[in-house]
Amino acid sequence: MVKNIQAIRGMNDYFPEETAFWQRVEWILKDVLTRYSYNEIRLPIVERTSLFQRAIGEITDVVEKEMYTFINRNGDSLTLRPEGTAGCVRAGIERGFLYNQEQRFWYLGPMFRYERPQKGRYRQFYQIGAEVFGQQGPDVDAELILLTARWWRTLGIQDYVTLELNSIGSLEARARYCKALIAFFCQNKEFLDKDCLRRMYINPMRIFDTKNPNIQALLNEAPVLTDYLDDDSQAHFSDLCELLNLAGISYKINPRLIRGLDYYNRTVFEWVTMYLGSQGTICGGGRYDSLVEQLGGFATPAVGFAMGLERLILLVKAVNPNFATIACVDVYLVVRGSSIKHEAFQLAEQLRDALPSLRLMTNYGNDSFKKQFRRANKHGARIVLVLGESEVSAGQLIMKDLVTGNQEMLAKSDITARLASILD
């Protein structure tokens, strides 16, 4: 027997019961983004590897361990995007969208990371993200957080998520902090593993990304970045906190929150939930005021976030399993006799023209009357229309309401109005 070909581990198929959920959730997310005047951008899934190396940082888990990288036929090194910010900045610089302008973008699409798959963590996952360019004040940081808070309220999960907030300061503040970190790690070298020892001098903050529980315990004793913050970043952070207080948004300041990508400065935040086990970060983001310049553009302040749709949908489903259901058929057209299949085909199209919101399914093939009715029920049809040779020659149709059980014979010319009155 021929062996089945299976999906790649960590890459999911989604069938209609799932996609019904996704569609409803996505519709709500996009609607809120539009209400805050964010516009969609669509960017390539594949970018040059060097883009992610430079933007995310060479010594990060994403770049070192998780990228899907391959050599193109022309010898270039390309990578399936592990996140959306780098591509967005690349496109903004390349198309001249960032210079001296304010931009508010959102995007939605698949991202790829070679991580160990588990609930809420996949190798292909979807992110919806927003990026704002050209605004340096904390008000836009606050707006992004308010936007996400509005998502939670609209989706009914506001009681299941909490906001963690921190400031990681300026590049200079971080350089001072890194010196202190290196000194601390030097004193505790014997507790570090090979990976951390390697990162110690090149990018000591990335030791915080370790999954090694012994080292995690040591990190609780490490110097805290907050103690090294510069005055401007401190002022920015307290303004942000004040705006959130004004808006009634609760948050927890987490001095240990630094995020796993190198491009951040000042504000960083994460929305977390306790209801998804270890993959509880639903959404994360922050400021990245140096990235545009670092990738070759003019200095442009920027801030954004991204949310994992799988995690969000897991949570929405856990809170409200009936949040979305698969769309049922309104009308099922039962066709009696193969000689009238062309008439049935035409009738279905005429009904779709006349009633644009009608969800109609036609039976194809020569199934028995009973089987066709069974199918109508399976698809949740409200109404069955029966078309046979005698009905065609009389210019009529049988209409059966599966909810009330009523059955009537209708002139073909009356069918549209009758359906409209029942389905309204």
- Yes or no: say if 389 and 337 are a contact pair by the CB < 8 Å rule: yes
* Nearer residue to ligand HAM within complex by CB, 169 or 285: 285
Q: In angstroms, give the least distance from the CB of 107 to ligand HAM.
A: 10
Q: Of 207 and 272, which has the nearer Cβ to ligand HAM?
A: 272
Q: Are 292 and 89 in contact (CB under 8 A)?
A: yes
For 170-289, strand residue ranges (E) read 252-253, 265-272, 281-287
Tokens of 289: 């005021």
| Least distance in angstroms from the C-beta of 216 to ligand HAM | 18
Q: Least distance in Å: CB of 307 to ligand HAM?
A: 6
Residue placing its CB nearer to ligand HAM in the complex, 157 or 261: 261
263 marked as part of a ligand binding site: yes
Dist. CA 228–CA 360, nearest whole Å: 65
CB nearer to ligand HAM: pick between 57 and 84? 84
Among residues 161, 157, 164, the alpha carbon closest in space to that of 274 is found at 161
* 113 annotated binding-site participant: yes
Q: Which amino acid type is present at position 293? A: E
Using CA atoms, how far apart are residues 92 and 216, in angstroms rounded to an integer? 38
CB of 168 to ligand HAM, least distance (A): 12
Which residue, 192 or 314, is less far from ligand HAM as judged by CB?
314
**Tokens found for residue 215:** 């080292």
Q: Point out the residue whose Cβ comes nearest to ligand HAM.
A: 308
- Residue pair 271/283 in contact by the 8 Å Cβ criterion: yes
CB of 61 to ligand HAM, least distance (A): 9
For the bound state, the minimum distance from the C-beta of residue 103 to ligand HAM, rounded and expressed in Å, comes to 13
Smaller CB separation from ligand HAM, 261 or 381 = 261
Give me the residues that bind ligand HAM (CB under 6 A), please: 83-85, 113, 115, 121-122, 125, 127, 129, 131, 261, 281-286, 288, 304-308, 310-311
Name which of 142, 112, 99 is nearest 47 in CA terms: 112
Residue 325 corresponds to which tokens in the numbers above?
């259901």
Q: What Rg value do the Cα atoms of the chain yield, rounded?
A: 28
Q: Is 148 annotated as a binding residue?
A: no
87 is in an annotated binding site: no
Give the shortest CB-27-to-ligand HAM separation in angstroms. Answer: 19
3-state SS of 337-401 is CHHHHHHHHHHHHHHHHHCCCCCEEECCCCCCHHHHHHHHHHCCCCEEEEEEHHHHHHCEEEEEE
Q: Choose between 84 and 388: whose C-beta lies nearer to ligand HAM.
A: 84
Q: Tell me if 43 sits within 8 A of 131, measured CB to CB.
A: no
Residues making up the binding site for L-histidine: 83-85, 113, 127, 131, 259, 263-264
User: Which amino acids are annotated as binding site, given as ranges?
Assistant: 83-85, 113, 127, 131, 259, 263-264
